[in-house]
Amino acid sequence: MSGTATLSTTPVNTLIRLEQWAPIAALKSSAYAYPLIEVLHIVALAVVFGTIVIVDMRILGRMKALDLNTLVKSILPYTLCGFLVSVTTGLAMFTMRISELIANPMFIAKICLLFSVGTNAAILHARGAINTNNWLTRIQAVLSILIWLAIIFCGRFIAYV
């Protein structure tokens, strides 16, 4: 019985030990590290959200003067760069507060929503060329915006739960 309990807590204990690792502990002891990483995270998220909303709005019929494929190809590098910075800074912030965050329902919701928005995007792009006249594509664009807004909401409320 106790062997089962030990096995089930091992991943959590490993994560908590990561929070105590010397490089992470050094970041935690700095008065400026977390706030600076958080600012980078928010700016990167703004780039990701902003570029995705532009594409989603085009799918929904706005900015018809812009060719969708050209728009996507032009914006994609900024989206990917913002996403890379956002993930990197998010992981850094996570490792600095693992023991708090793994018990925070807003953090868990944010992570679940990130998987949801990623799944939505994967399904959209797996279907082939984006057809703005397809009702499913338009529903996915609306879902994308709503899920990203929920991610931002949850991310902001992590500090208050």
DSSP 54-105: HHHHHHTT--TTS-HHHHHHHHHHHHHHHHHHHHHHHHHHHHHSHHHHTT-H
pLDDT of residue 125: 87
The dihedral region occupied by 130, where left means phi > 0, alpha psi between -120 and 50, and beta the remainder, is: beta
Whole-angstrom distance, CA of residue 159 vs CA of residue 106: 9
Per-residue pLDDT of the chain (161 residues; tens, 9 = 90+): 445 544 456 777 777 777 777 788 788 888 899 999 999 999 999 999 999 999 999 999 999 898 998 999 999 999 999 999 999 999 999 999 988 899 999 999 999 999 999 999 999 989 888 888 999 999 999 999 999 999 999 999 999 99
DSSP element (H, E) containing 108: helix 105-126
Please give the pLDDT value at position 136: 94
> What pLDDT is recorded for position 17?
76
Report the pLDDT value the prediction gives residue 9, as an integer from 0 to 100.
62
pLDDT in tens, 95-109: 999 888 999 999 999
What's the pLDDT at 1?
46
- Cβ atoms 85, 136 nearer than 8 A: no
Per-residue pLDDT tens digits for 25-44: 788 888 899 999 999 999 99
Could you give the CA distance from residue 69 to residue 55 in angstroms, rounded to a whole number?
A: 10
